[in-house]
Amino acid sequence: NAGVMQNPRHLVRRRGQEARLRCSPMKGHSHVYWYRQLPEEGLKFMVYLQKENIIDESGMPKERFSAEFPKEGPSILRIQQVVRGDSAAYFCASSPPGQGVLDHEQYFGPGTRLTVT
């Protein structure tokens, strides 16, 4: 059973370009969470999605950031018009159906390290 997969592992973008980060959850998992880790900081919650639904996006910056988890295919975190401050490691985690964080641990992917030049 493959773990949570993220690609690309490293992404370099110039200021103003778009960044697309992909996350394939573990087989059978319907909950996807995105986190951001800025340099010298901890993991910060961004968004929680279930298939075709955004459940909680309270950690997402209001502008330029969006996320989706379509019926088919991976979850995508999209950052438009990237700025230097977006440089960070972005981690995706998944969990099986149930009561979210109440009854299941989260399984993390290896992360995508975004560098904005």
Q: Is 64 in the site for another protein (CB under 8 A)?
A: no
- The dihedrals phi and psi of 29, each to the nearest 5 degrees, come to -90, 135
Binding mask 75-104 for another protein (x = CB under 8 A): ----------------x-x-----xxxxxx
Of the candidate spans 16-24, 52-60, 67-75, 78-86, the one that interacts with another protein by CB under 8 A turns out to be 52-60
* Residues with Cβ within 8 Å of residue 4, at least 6 apart in sequence: 23, 24, 25, 26, 29, 92, 93, 94, 107, 108, 109
Instruction: Give contact residues for another protein (rule: CB under 8 A).
Output: 3-4, 33, 35, 41-45, 48, 55-56, 58-59, 91, 93, 99-111
